[in-house]
């Protein structure tokens, strides 16, 4: 760069040093070299990209729930999506005072905070849009979500696992009717092992899929802050294992926030494992896909029948058969499938006072970065915009 004077060069170097120091100091973020053009390589959208390669990750649309007054968040996720070749549509956040009393379904909504009421309504609007537009599937994400540049390869293996879950679940239920659980005593690890089938062992030549993910489920929970494993099932597996996914951090890093205990799967499965299973209890609606039948069930359940708790907890209960109607009249349990570690996670901005959900760890220091995500799109925004080579990586194996 001949036009760069010595002084400016020094200044630039000093700035780089400061940035590097800040990056290194944050502990889990390290810039690695060289990966020129990595963003371009992983944003496959546009001409010719089909299925998961396309701009909506193989769903019909991607909706982002965002309050119009949080333009900061809209700016940031738009930028992130642009580097992943993703096309977003907006669902406007709602303020509780704009919801009329008469518009609430039955239930104890009065005890809920304004934030929960607004969030509930925004998610209902997303579901209703999916129904109005007769979409076969759509992904709903919250505006502080982060993801890995390699999201399409992650979703590709997940999409092969998901169609097997309804079959596994019905086989397991049949097995349980015919053979009551044995009294054999097994260790937790043996139980986990017997409950799990690797994706490669499942036949891939089922009926050919017309759509990626095969739409035989209601909800596909891709972003959350914690998912409980289903009860072990030693006679008939109920979890699918995607092994050796190098986009997943080491087990010691698998927790949804600094002060949280390790995820149960961290001690039960080899490093770099991803699991796909029916939901048991799942926290936070950071990202979830619904099919058309799924959207209809959810809008009926929470928009019309009952609204008594925060939407994410209500969805978790409904998916695991704990909703009131399901307990009382054995109403059917929807087919909700979850992946863990999740593919989408909360992006924490380090307590810059702009995050509504900034989590504070045990040390009192606000969280910064995102859990579970290594090649984080958000952590790389600044470098991408400046055209820097290299990649900020979180949760490296070597640490
Ligand atoms: C992406 O692929 C899905 C599934 O094939 C399709 O329904 C959707 O319309 C596609 N989206 C775009 C933007 O091409
Ligand atoms: C909605 O989509 C389904 C399948 O994609 C189609 O069979 C149905 O006719 C559509 N309904 C309307 C009202 O367009
Ligand atoms: C969900 O997990 C809890 C705690 O591990 C367990 O008691 C419960 O039976 C599980 N439910 C299902 C449906 O697996």
Take atom 8 of ligand 3 and give the residue whose Cα is closest: 231
Q: What is the pLDDT of residue 20?
A: 44
Ranges of residues in the chain whose predicted pLDDT is under 50:
1-4, 16, 18-27, 46-47, 353-362
Atom 2 of ligand 2, nearest CA residue: 134
Pocket test for ligand 3, best of 227, 280, 338 (most atoms within 8 A of CB): 280
Q: Which helix (H) or strand (E) holds 381?
A: helix 381-386
Ligand 3 center–CA 231 separation, angstroms: 5
Calpha distance 229→340 (Å, rounded): 9
Buried b (16+ CB within 10 A) or exposed e, 264-283: bbbebbebbbbbbbbbbbbe
Select from 130, 131, 134, 293 the residue to mutate for testing ligand 2; criterion: most ligand atoms less than 8 Å from CB. 134
Predicted TM-score (pTM) of the model is 0.89
Q: What is the pLDDT of residues 60-103, one digit of tens each?
A: 999 999 999 999 999 999 999 999 999 999 999 999 999 999 99
Which residue's CA is the closest to the ligand 2 atom numbered 11? Answer: 134
Pocket of ligand 1 (CB under 6 A): 51, 54-56, 58, 60, 87, 211-212
The whole-angstrom separation of Cα 286 and Cα 37 is 28
Q: Are 28 and 398 in contact (CB under 8 A)?
A: no
Q: In terms of C-beta density within 10 A (0-12 exposed, 13-18 middle, 19 or more buried), how is residue 78 classed?
A: middle
What pLDDT score was predicted for residue 1? 38
Q: Give 117's strand partners.
A: none
Ligand found nearest the CA of 211: 1
Residue nearest to atom 7 of ligand 1 (CA): 60
Q: In this predicted structure, what is the pLDDT of residue 355?
A: 43
Distances (CA, A) of 396 to 36, 73, 248, 320, 323: 19, 27, 9, 34, 40
Query: pLDDT at position 14, please?
Result: 55
Q: Give residue 189 CA to ligand 2 midpoint distance, Å.
A: 46
Q: How far is Cα 252 from Cα 232, in angstroms, rounded to an integer?
A: 22
Give the atom of ligand 2 at the shortest distance from the alpha carbon of 136.
5
Q: What is the Å distance from ligand 1's center to 89 Cα? A: 14
333 alpha carbon, closest ligand = 3
Q: Which ligand is nearest to the CA of 191?
A: 3
Ligand with the closest atom to the CA of 181? 3
The angle, 0 to 180 degrees and rounded to 10, between the axes of the packed helices 311-319 and 114-132 is 60
What pLDDT was estimated at residue 206? 56
Q: 230 C-alpha vs ligand 3 centroid, how far in Å?
A: 5
| pLDDT confidence of residue 332 | 86
Ligand 1 centroid vs 58 CA: distance in angstroms? 5
> In degrees, to the nearest 5, what angle opens at C-alpha 366 toward C-alphas 360 and 372?
85
Q: Are 386 and 366 in contact (CB under 8 A)?
A: no
Taking CA atoms only, the protein residue closest to ligand 1 atom 9 is 60
Instruction: Determine whether the shortest distance from the Cβ of 134 to ligand 2 is under 6 A.
Output: yes
| Span 229-287, pLDDT tens digits | 999 988 899 999 999 999 999 999 999 988 899 999 999 999 999 999 999 999 999 99
Which residues sit with their C-beta closer than 6 Å to ligand 3? 228, 230-231, 280, 320
């Amino acid at each position: 760069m001949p036009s760069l004077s010595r002084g400016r060069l020094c200044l630039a170097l000093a700035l780089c040093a400061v940035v590097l120091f800040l990056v290194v100091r944050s502990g889990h973020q390290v810039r690695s070299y060289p990966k020129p053009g990595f963003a371009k390589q992983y944003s496959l959208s546009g001409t010719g990209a089909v299925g998961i390669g396309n701009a909506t990750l193989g769903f019909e649309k991607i909706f982002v729930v965002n309050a119009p007054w949080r333009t900061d968040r809209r700016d940031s996720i738009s930028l992130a999506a642009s580097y992943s070749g993703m096309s977003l549509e907006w669902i406007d956040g709602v303020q509780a005072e704009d919801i009329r009393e008469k518009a609430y379904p039955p239930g104890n909504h009065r005890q809920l905070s304004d934030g929960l009421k607004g969030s509930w309504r925004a998610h209902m609007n997303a579901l209703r849009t999916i129904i109005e537009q007769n979409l076969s599937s759509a992904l709903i994400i919250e505006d502080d979500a982060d993801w890995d540049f390699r999201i399409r390869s992650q979703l590709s293996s997940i999409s092969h696992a998901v169609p097997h879950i309804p079959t596994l679940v019905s086989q397991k239920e049949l097995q349980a009717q015919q053979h009551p659980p044995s009294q054999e005593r097994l260790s937790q690890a043996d139980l986990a092992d017997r409950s799990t089938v690797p994706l490669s062992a499942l036949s891939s030549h089922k009926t050919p899929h017309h759509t990626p993910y095969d739409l035989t489920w209601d909800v596909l929970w891709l972003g959350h802050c914690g998912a409980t494993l289903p009860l072990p099932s030693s006679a008939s597996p109920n979890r699918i294992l995607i092994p050796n996914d190098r986009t997943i951090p080491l087990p010691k890093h698998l927790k949804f926030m600094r002060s949280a205990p390790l995820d149960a799967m961290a001690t039960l499965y080899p490093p770099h494992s991803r699991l796909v299973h029916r939901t048991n209890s799942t926290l936070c609606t950071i990202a979830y896909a619904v099919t058309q039948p799924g959207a209809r069930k959810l809008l009926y359940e929470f928009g019309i029948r009952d609204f008594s708790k925060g939407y994410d907890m209500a969805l978790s209960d409904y998916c695991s058969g704990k909703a009131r109607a399901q307990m009382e009249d054995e109403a059917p349990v929807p087919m909700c499938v979850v992946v863990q570690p999740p593919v989408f996670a909360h992006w924490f901005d380090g307590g810059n006072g702009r995050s509504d959900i900034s989590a504070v760890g045990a040390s009192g220091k606000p969280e910064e970065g995102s859990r579970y995500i290594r090649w984080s799109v958000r952590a790389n925004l600044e470098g991408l915009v400046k055209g820097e080579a290299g990649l900020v990586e979180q949760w490296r194996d070597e640490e």
